[in-house]
Amino acid sequence: MTTYRFSVLAYALVRMWRAWPVIVPVVVANAALQALLVWRTPDVGEWLAIILMGLASLAIFAISYGLVAAAALRVPDGHVGLPAAVDGLRAHAGRFALWAVALVVASILGLMLYTVPGLVVLAITPFVLLAVLDGRPNPLAANFHAMGERFWRWLATTLVTGVVVLLGTVLTGFTAFFVRNPAASLAAWLVSGLVLAWFITAWALVYRSTSLAARG
């Protein structure tokens, strides 16, 4: 089993397509559903509709993330089909949902207090949900174990991820300015979905290269 060689991001860009039966339909379905949610923009006074749309969007995104992450963990072993990803997510669905909510709340609180704390939360927890799907009893401890064992790889990948996210945010805003919803939403989610699948695969490859994951 080979997780990655010199560049984990370059290797992930190739190896992610081992899971194309998962990534392609999940990214397309997520983009289509997210676009449908903004087909009709609710008025400012329709707060209940806004809240329900936000929760639905988060739920769809979380399921999509979980399926891609479950597939990414299996990429080093060979090709991955949708049934394997579904089984991987379903086996840990409850804990995955709880940890996903915890990370979202922590990130939002950090961003509300000040931008930096929110970004720090995201930067120091890239392996938490992967550890949940790997069946680790303490995903947070597993996350920091992986960070410590692959510190320089974590740092380099985090910095590159930050740059790509910044560029993607600018391009998404540029697209939304010239292309109105829901077409802009569909395009943004398709591109960002593929990029996110790439990064999830990269983090999964790093995680699978640690002694913690190797012990099974």
Measured in degrees and rounded to the nearest 5, phi and psi for residue 106 equal -60, -40
pLDDT, the chain, mean = 87
Sorted by sequence, the CB contacts under 8 Å of residue 68 that are 6+ apart come out as: 19, 22, 23, 26, 27, 85, 196, 197, 200
Which tens digits make up the pLDDT trace of 158-181? Answer: 999 888 887 777 676 665 555 556
| Torsion angle of C-alpha atoms 164, 85, 204, 195, degrees rounded to 10 | -10
CA distances from 104 to 17, 100, 149 (A): 28, 6, 25
SS3 166: helix
Q: What is the pLDDT of residue 176?
A: 55
Q: What is the pLDDT of residue 4?
A: 63
